[in-house]
Amino acid sequence: MAKFYYLEKLSQQTIKYQIHSEGCALLPAWGKRDFLGTFYHERDAIKVSRLRHLATAPCSQCFENPRKYQIKL
Ligand SMILES: [Zn+2]
């Protein structure tokens, strides 16, 4: 089943983002997140997010396999 994915900007000074899926407990308020897209697999969410922003990392709470996609921010 497809899920909505969102980008959370981690800081105003830097361009670092964390990706969350819908229903995540750590998802920020509406004003602080950007809709990324609807994806069937988290790997697709990562792929698309890195086309838009280079520094994106998966949330460790809502990704099934965050380590696989982890990058050093
Ligand atoms: Zn999350």
Question: What is the pLDDT confidence band of residue 6, given thresholds at 50, 70 and 90?
Answer: very high
Distance CA 27, CA 62 (A): 9
Distance 9 CA to ligand 1 centre (A): 13
Distance CA 71, CA 33 (A): 20
More confident residue, 71 or 56: 56
* Confidence (pLDDT) at 43: 96
Distance 58 CA to ligand 1 centre (A): 7
Task: Name the nearest CA neighbour of 52 among 1, 5, 3.
Answer: 5
Distance 7 CA to ligand 1 centre (A): 10
- pLDDT tens-digit map of 11-48: 777 778 999 999 999 999 998 899 999 999 999 999 99
- pLDDT tens-digit map of 52-69: 888 899 999 999 999 999
Cβ-contact 36, 5 below 8 angstroms: yes
- pLDDT at position 71 over 90: no
